[in-house]
Each structure stands twice: as C-alpha cells, then as structure tokens.
A = this chain, B = another copy of it.
Amino acid sequence: MGGWSLVYEEFSPEKEGLRETLCTLGNGYFCTRGAADEAVDDGIHYPGTYIAGGYNRMKTEIDGHILENEDLVNMPNWLPLSFRIEEGSWFDIRQVDLLNYRQELDLKKGLLKRDIRFEDGEGRRTRVSFRRLVHMSLPHLAGQEMRLTAENWSGRMEFRSALDGRVVNDGVARYRKLNSRHLDPLESKRLGEDGICLTVQTHQSRLQVAMAARTRIYRNGRSLSLDRRTIAEKGYIAQLIGVKIEKEAAVTVEKVVGVFTSRDPAVSEAGLAAGKAIRQAGGFEDLLHSHAMTWDHLWQRFGMSFEYKDGQQGEPISEVLHLHIFHLLQTTSVNTMAMRLDVGVPPRGWHGEAYRGHILWDELFIFPLLNWRMPEITRRVLMYRYQRLDAARAAARAHGYRGAMYPWQSGSDGREESQSLHLNPRSGRWIPDNSRLQRHVSAAIAYNVYQYYQVSRDTEFLAFYGAEMILEIARFWSSIATFNREHGRYVILGVMGPDEYHEGYPDAQSPGLNNNAYTNVMAVWVLDRALEILEILPVDISACIREKLDIGEEELDRWRDITRRMRIPFHGDGIISQFEGYERLEEFDWEGYREKYGDIQRLDRILEAEGDTPNRYRLSKQADVLMLFYLFSAEELREIFQDLGYPFAYETIPKNIDYYIRRTAHGSTLSRVVHSWVLARQDRERSWKLFNEALFSDVTDIQGGTTPEGIHLGAMAGTVDQIQRCYTGIVTRNDALWLNPCLPEELATLRLQVRYRGYFLRLEICCDHIKVTSLRNREYPIRVGCGEEIVELNGRDTIEFPLG
C-alpha cells in the first residue's frame, strides 16, 4: 500500500476472500465486495452485495433445536460481466496464462481497478482493464467498465452482462448449515434496447429488491449498435452481445446499474425506479466524475495528515487510517441520512456475513469518529435505536424489568437476534450461547446518545428522541439493580460483561455473573446522565417527558440512591474486580498454552474443545474493567467513585491496567484499541505498539480468516479515533472544547478538521504548539481551551496555544 491505494500485483485465489473484503465498494446504502468478476464466481468465492439494513429470517433445525436466524440480505449480484472469444469458453482467470495482473483500490476516488494481460490456449494475447464504482452521491447507481484490447489477434467476441439473483449467504463457513437462500424471484425482463431488469423479494420479510443494468459497448468513444440476445430465467437475466474485434482496437464495455428496494423513499415500485435510473444515468465517465468529487468532499471533512519526525517517514500509518475511514464511510454515509435509512452500524460493516449484519455495541467505538466529523450521521443512526425503543421496552417487561433493555444483537425489528447455539469449529460442537446476557449494550446506547449531544448540542434530538432513550435505559438499570442488605448496596446479578470468555461461574447451574464492575459503573453513569438530562431540557419538555414516561419523584430518589450506593467489587490492592469473585478464579497458564497452540486469541474455542472452560480462569477475551478508562477521563471516574463512597486514587489506573493487560487474550479486535488508548499517556511505547497491531487488524487479517467474513469496523474507527481524540486530547467539558495533546514520539505534526457545535475547526498539533482555525461561520461563539487558557472563538479566527 502506497499513497492512497491498496494494490495487489498478483492474482492469488487463496487470498481472494481477504482482498474482496478490503476492496469492498459501498455508499452506505449498499456494499459490493470487491475482487470477483463473473469469471471467478465459481470455486473461489461468490461475490456478496449487501443492502444496508435489509434482513430476512429463516429457520433451521440443528440437533433437534429450531434455530431462527435473521440474516442480512445478500442482494442479487450486479457484477457479472464476462466475455468469450469465438464461441470458446467464458473467460476464467484460472484457465489462462496470466502475463500481468494488477488490482488497485483507489481510496481517494473510491474506484476499484484491475488490469489483466493473458494468453489463452490458442496463443491469443489480450489486455483487459476493469474499473468499478458504487456511487457515493447517486446512491442507487453503480457502474463498471471493461476495456479490452486484442494484442495479436482479430475475431468475434461475445460479451455477457448479467444480474444474478440466485445468490446465497455462504461467506462464513460456520454458518453454512443454516438456511441462507433469501431471495425469491419476482421478475426478469428486458428494458428497451440495452437494458435488463431483475426483481426479487426476500422470502420472509418481503423486501423487494430491483436491479436494472444498461450495457453499452464503445469503440473510439462511439457507441456501437450490436446484436443482443437476452436470456431471462427465474432469478437471473443476462444480455449477450456479439462484437467484432480488430487487433489493437480497444472496445469498452460499460455496465451501469440501478438498485432500488421497496423501502426506499421517492419510489413508486422498485423495478420502475431501477429502470428509470438507468435510462437517466450518465456514462461511466460522468458517474466517475461526480463520484470522485463526492469522495474529495468527504476527504476534506474526514481526512487527517501527519508529519513524522526525522527518519520515521516509512510507516504507512496514514494510508491504513484512510482505508479505515474509507470503509466506515461506505458503511454509513451521507446517504444513510439523506435516504433516512433505518440502519445501525454493524460491527463488520456491510462487508461480510459475520454477525449477519446485526447491530451490537461496536457503535460505541465508531460514533466518536462520526460525531467529530459529521455528527448528522450519528443522529440518523441513533434513530435506529429510537425506532426500536418499544421493542426494548417489551424485552425489559418480558424479563420482569422496567424501562428499555436493548438486545445484544439487533436486526430488523429490535428483538434479540443473538444465536442461542453457536458452532465451535474446533470441536465441531454446537454449544449454548449466552452472549445475550451482555446487558451493558443498553448503557452503550445511552452513552452514544449523550456523547452525540455533547458534541452537537442538538437539543432538538434530545427533546424528541434522546432523552426518552436515556431515561428508559436508566429506568432499566434501576429495575435490574436490587438492594443487598449484607453489602448495604445495590447489586446487579446474572449478567455478562464485555469479556465474552466469562459467561458464568465455574460449575454454576445457570449462566451470568454478579456485579460486573464495568456494567455497574455504566449503570451509575447512565442514572447520573438521566438526572442531568431532565435539567438540561427546557422545563416544559422535561415535564411532558416525565409525564409521558410516568417518572415520579420517588423513582428519581431511587436513581439518586443507586448513584451513591451501587456495589463495585475490588480485590487486592485497589484492583477493581472484573466481577464478584473474580479473585477466586485460577490463574491461567499463558505460557503453556502459547507453546501448545501458538495463536491463543480464541481461548474459548481451545478450552471448550479440551472439555474445559474459560470461566475457570483469570483471563479475558478483551478489555472489560479497562473499558472504564477508555470511556471516561480520570476526573469523571473519580467523581463517580467518590459519589459511591469508594476510594479512587489516580495510581489505581496504571495498577488496574497492568493487572488486566497481562490477562488478556485479545480475542476481539476491539481489545487492542482500548489497551492502546488507556496506555497512551503512561506508556507511550507500549501504547504505540498496540496501536500498530490494532491498525493492521484487517489489513493483515491478524485473526487469521475473520476479515474475509467482514472488516472490523470498531477497530477501524477506533484507531482513527485514537488519533483524533486520544492524541489530541480533545474533550468537551463545561460548555467548552478542550485540547490536551499527547502525540506519539514518532509524530511531529498532526492536522485534522473537526466539527463542534456548528463550527468547522482546523487543528494543527505540533510538539510545541496547537493552532485552531475556524472557517467563516455565522454560529454563536464557542470557547476553546488548553491548559489554563480559554479563548472565545467567533467566526473566522485562528488561535494558537503554546505547548509546555
């Protein structure tokens, strides 16, 4: 990777899954995995095109259990564009002699390019160049172009341009036993001279997806009038076009595709809309022009740049960070807003089938990046949760709680989508999955709402939607907490923390842990914020919301009481116990297992296959207690602990970090992000090392095969956010924006642009100063602080703070 591109110089079938995922193209509305064209459909991997927020449910029987899975919708494949020479067999990259191969993902323009030069069995040498895009500002359009040159031959060729709805979700090996054929064909038809259209409907959710393709062939820039045949089958349609080829006279095949679903705004019927889209669309070059411009505008908002200190120029860090931003903006974008899509941000993007496109807590790591660049996207995506507030209320009621209990995995209608059984590929066993006991997901949602408000000051969102979510989540925490006379404190029993390697006590009958420290602190924090929100809102609105939710004084008293008397377990010398009784677990033989297994990131599978369980040991998949130091400043934590009547010395922090960091397997890519963050100020070297590992999670597929199942968006956004917030030390406090930079040793200068309360602020951070420039603006003044100094910013202005 150099500059702004991801480049592969050889064709390697065994790495195709990884490349496809990293070369995904998308626009927040739909995503298409990158590498495969029709020629490599078969035997390597089927290309996946996923629609944002589209789901379908299917039932499968496994070991006598009925599993009901809600899967993301694998749309028809719009890519197939193939050719054959003189009625030979269709091009297959594995059946020819490859003379050259080059694939490049141009991040700046959002363009995927592939150049192939090959010789076939008859000695014919041919060059083919592909370009492909999924349009960023015309979200229903995608396009590809194939330019073919016969180097040493002339003759007849046939091109085949197809839309294929006979696809299945088979991108994740361990899900393959589950039903995954989601599409029923509705219609395959020709449209005019050069168009074809395919309409399908998901089997259970009845979501209609229509695709239309317009295929044109050019020589010397002139469109050729050619014979076309259309093959229409159930769920498949193709157009075959014959062309005479002259040696060295390139022909260009252009396929422009329109995609619509029945949920889109401004649509009469999806097929009609798709047909109209390809009638009105420009050619590939036109599309590329507006598409690249949109990316250019996005990079102005989302980009960042570095200067390294002398001799440190070699690191490709900024390139990887741009790849991460690129993938985030393909998953959730301006189109998510403008098309008011009903979607959350899935942990694996819309890039693969892992977690089936469900929404988990990973948004916690993703929203900060959006909040500081384009908070309007966060607002739209938070609506996904608001729309499912009633489902969360029903879930709380069904479990005997009050308020809103959000599901660990959320899909179309907000019910719990976590699997009840999962497959351990190592043992081949289907084992019970208790991950749904991770009640802390609701706290993450409240945290996300509050952080969005802090940066945007969007009182309107708070008044209509945000406050109701925070209050109902607070109420849930109040109702799941019970008062324990022995401790004289409130406790929360039978839950799981973020560390998924602990789902219960060894040998206990039922799953769940008591007083998970992370959960309990988050519960207190949510209750604090709920009380605060009622004060922030205009008094009339606050009164209406309280009346609507029936929140009386007595309930508020209980909330206040919990914020003073929640139990947090400790052990040893100021170590926050991950949960009650953690200290009674055995220490784990890290060295022994590392020796025996090498990669021990997935200790859960290793131990289960051995008939053992991680529940017995002091080990964790990922940060759990340490999440607290990631989410909160030391000041905030001290306040929470002091209110609870627990001692909290600042030395507690490094002590806890040290304790847990030694007991972590990093089975989640989020883990390194958190650990790197919490070490940033106390152990810059170690932090930088972890940061670099986190950074390459996907690029080098450090989990050995999980990236092809979908990128890890939490780690992607989290690493960018580490530059953005951790190294700049940017926080909001007391109606001001504060900067407290802590650049890694390697960096000389960091430049980025953030958005704060309507302002665009350009930040330049060096070792010895910070420069903040505000663009012309009519917003109300804001205050920006650094160290002891605080300055009012009004309209166009530049401030400089010297650094000590």
Contact = CB atoms under 8 A, between A and B. Distances in A.
Interface of A: 55, 57, 70, 137-138, 204-208, 262-263, 265-270, 272-273, 276, 280, 290, 293-294, 297, 300, 334, 337-340, 342, 376, 383, 386-388, 390-391, 394, 411-414, 459-460, 464-465, 536, 538-540, 544, 547-548, 758, 760, 775-780
Contacts of A207: 262
Nearest to A204: B269
Contacts of A334: 464
Nearest to A391: B266
B204 A206 contact: no
A297 B544 contact: yes
Nearest to A337: B464
Contacts of A539: 775-776
Contacts of A780: 780
Nearest to A412: B268
Contacts of A208: 206
A268 B459 contact: no
A138 to B, nearest CB: 8
B338 A340 contact: no
Given A208-B206, A413-B272, A460-B376, A775 B540 contact: yes
A300 B207 CA distance: 40
A265 B342 contact: yes
A394 B280 CA distance: 8
B536 A778 contact: yes
Contacts of A137: 548
B413 A547 contact: no
A270 B412 CA distance: 11
A378 to B, nearest CB: 12
A297 B206 contact: no
A396 to B, nearest CB: 12
Given A205-B269, A262-B263, A297-B544, 6 more contacts: A55-B268, A204-B269, A206-B208, A207-B262, A340-B342, A459-B779
Nearest to A280: B394
Copies in the complex: 2
Given A206-B208, A459-B758, A539-B776, A342 B464 contact: no
A338 B465 contact: yes
B266 A777 contact: no
A266 B341 CA distance: 11
5 contacts: A293-B548, A297-B548, A334-B464, A340-B383, A780-B780
Contact of A57 (B204, B268, B465): B268
Given A266-B388, A293-B547, A342-B265, A778 B413 contact: no
A376 B779 CA distance: 19
Contacts of A779: 459
Nearest to A342: B265
Q: Which of A297, A414, A465 has the most B CB atoms < 10 Å from its CB?
A: A297
A776 B269 contact: no
A774 to B, nearest CB: 9
A388 B208 CA distance: 21
A567 to B, nearest CB: 34
Contacts of A276: 413
A265 B387 contact: yes
A268 B464 contact: no
Nearest to A411: B268
B775 A538 contact: yes
A294 B276 CA distance: 42
Nearest to A461: B376
Contacts of A386: 338
A138 B267 CA distance: 26
A206 to B, nearest CB: 5
Given A412-B267, A412-B268, A548-B297, A538 B760 contact: yes
Given A70-B268, A464-B376, A778-B536, A262 B206 contact: yes
A387 B266 contact: yes
A257 to B, nearest CB: 16
Contacts of A394: 280
Given A263-B263, A269-B204, A340-B383, A760 B540 contact: yes
A300 B541 CA distance: 10
